[in-house]
Amino acid sequence: MEHSIPLDILDDLSSRFIINVPEEERKDLIRICFQIELAHWFYLDFYCTEENKHLKTCGMKDFAAHTFNHIPFLRVHSKNLTEILDKWREYKQSVPTYGAIVLNEDMSQVLLVQSYWSRSSWGFPKGKVNEEEDPSHCAVREVLEETGFDINKLIDHNEFIESVINEQTVRLYIVSGVQSDTKFEPRTRNEIKSVEWFSVADLPSSKKDATPRAKFGVGPNAFFMVVPFIKRLKRWIFEKQQKRAQNSRGHRHKSVGDVDFNQPKNKRQQFASAIQAEMQAFEALRQQHQKQGTTSPPRNIRKQEGNNRGSGHKPNFKRQLFTGQAAVSSNPEKE
């Protein structure tokens, strides 16, 4: 067939997603179709852009036809392509994928894996469920196989992000609290090339996000399998951090202001009554001084009392904010 996709682009896509498939896996055409699907997504997202209007978009069947005719070990199967794709779609719809979004202690970093097959792409550890396998058990198994870390004691069956991506269900359980200095060692051979922490804040939430290039030296295309989950992941983290902050404020030691504000209503009323009684006593004292000819403002009363010693007993007003009444006491002046 005549290629409408340039050969150099087919070469790039083949080297990224298909050529590195181990020899023993190349006979599994269903498996190969999943790799071709990844290459198809990549082509649509990062080649068929506004800047490359000369490139034509196409469906999975046309793209697979280009790929089968371009790669030598697939060319012999090209005449059976329709039947192969039908079997692949049937299998794909019946087998969901489960994995985990693994976060560190403060949820600022997330664990991503890079496979040998997808040369320059990063994704979450995940895989297809076995027959009659529980979804969370599948996630635990896949993470253990791809990272060497057991999330069994950390996984919450109710905390996950789920999407249907091109007819396939993908569920990722959110697991937090993993120590940043954990050593990860994949248990599968020739499948996982690297396991690394990435800053959640720096991961792209769209294919046009330029942050990864500035932070990691690679474009957003390196994270195209991560992009569909980032917005919801950041929202989940924000909500968890808000909840933690509220719980922290609820358990911290309270200041005097907090005690006043958080007291039961009857306690606050008692406090207000004490303040009111104090003000009434203060007003009575002020009027008493006015009758005696004192014209100075209240704030100077104590000063005048100190300057007029020997004139008799002077009332000494004491503030008692946390009792039920204000107190006025009389102390003899020194001669």
Q: Evaluate if residue 233 carries a pLDDT over 90.
A: yes
Query: Which residue's entry shows tokens 């690679």?
Result: 218
Is 174 within 8 Å of 240 (Cβ atoms)? no
Give pTM, 2 decimals.
0.61
Report how far residue 205's alpha carbon sits from residue 193's, in angstroms, rounded to the nearest whole number: 24
Burial 147-163 (b: 16+ CB within 10 A, else e): bbbebeebbeeeebbee
- Provide the residue type at 298 as one letter: P
Alpha helices in 170-264 (DSSP H): 211-216, 227-251, 256-262
Tokens of 309: 């010693």
Structural contact between residues 226 and 212, judged by C-beta atoms closer than 8 angstroms:
no
Alpha carbon 278 to its chain centroid, in Å, reads 53
Q: Where are the beta strands (DSSP E) in the chain?
A: 97-104, 109-115, 122-123, 126-128, 160-165, 168-178, 192-199, 314-318, 327-331
What gap in Å lies between CA 54 and CA 67, rounded to an integer? 19
Burial group, residue 127, by CB count within 10 angstroms (0-12, 13-18, 19+) = middle
Decide: 98 and 129 in contact? Cβ < 8 Å.
Answer: yes
Whole-number pLDDT of residue 215: 79
Q: Do 21 and 117 form a contact (C-beta atoms < 8 A)?
A: yes
pLDDT at 299: 45
Residue 329, pLDDT above cutoff 50: no
**Among 62-66, 156-160, 267-271, whose mean pLDDT is lowest?**
267-271
The mean pLDDT value for 201-223 works out to 83
CB 66 within 8 A of CB 36: no
Helix 7-17 crosses helix 29-46 at what angle (to 10 degrees)? 130
pLDDT for residue 237 is more than 70:
yes
Residue type, 222: A
pLDDT the model gives residue 216: 80
Report yes or no: 186 and 146 within 8 Å, Cβ to Cβ. Answer: yes
What does each C-alpha distance from 129 to 65, 139, 141 come to in angstroms? 28, 8, 10
Q: Return the pLDDT at 249.
A: 75
Angle, CA 110 vertex, CA 104 and CA 112 arms, to 5°: 130
Residues 195, 199: Cα–Cα separation, whole Å: 14
% of the chain residues with pLDDT over 70:
72
Reading the block at residue 255, the tokens are: 């200041």
Q: Is residue 208 exposed (0-12), middle (13-18) or buried (19+ Cβ within 10 Å)?
A: exposed
pLDDT digits (tens, 9 = 90+) for 158-169: 999 999 887 889
Domain architecture of the chain: domains with CATH: 7-91 (1.10.10.1050), 96-250 (3.90.79.10), 260-331 (no CATH)
Tokens read off for 87: 């079997």
Rounded Cα–Cα distance for residues 147 and 183 (Å): 9
Which pLDDT belongs to residue 218? 77
